[in-house]
Amino acid sequence: MSEQVQERLVKGRPDHFWDDLVTGDRLQSPGITITEAHLVQWAGLTGDWVSLHLDEEYAAQTPFGQRIGHGPLTLSVALGLMTQTGYFSNVIAWLGLESVRAVKPVFIGETIRVEALVSEARETSKPGAGLWTIDYTVVKQDGSTVMTFSSSFLIKRR
């Protein structure tokens, strides 16, 4: 006699709330390989048409020897990668950035990911919301750090 198994269709990511993370928790994002398309699209979106990012011959004459990704592109991609963890589906408000440091360049063809630490998870005066401060470390495929920053969010509570 076979047992009947009930199936559930699960769509998207699970809902996570402020209550799901505490100070000291660590998160890791998936990675993404930065391509020329990222640089060109970022320049078009933002108007940041700096030769260091887009002109191969110019960039070859710089200390980097090649084009590098825009710093704000790296920061934005890092924030986006963390949303893929599912922990940011209940954001009420993004409260800003602190201590942004570009440590190393990101070259076309390199893969970056985020290692994050919840440096603060605290209640707020709003009964339906808590605050997370997340310390981001953006690393590339060799494990070296390319950028660090902190970001704070107001998150729904259960």
pLDDT band for position 5 (cuts 50, 70, 90): low
Considering only CA atoms, which of 17, 108, 127 is closest in space to residue 70? 108
- Cα separation values, 86 from 11, 45, 122, 138, 154, Å: 12, 26, 19, 18, 15
- Reply yes or no on whether the pLDDT at 11 is more than 50: no
Q: Report the mean per-residue pLDDT for the chain.
A: 91
Model confidence pLDDT, tens digit, residues 89-144:
899 999 999 999 999 999 999 999 999 999 999 999 998 999 999 999 999 999 99
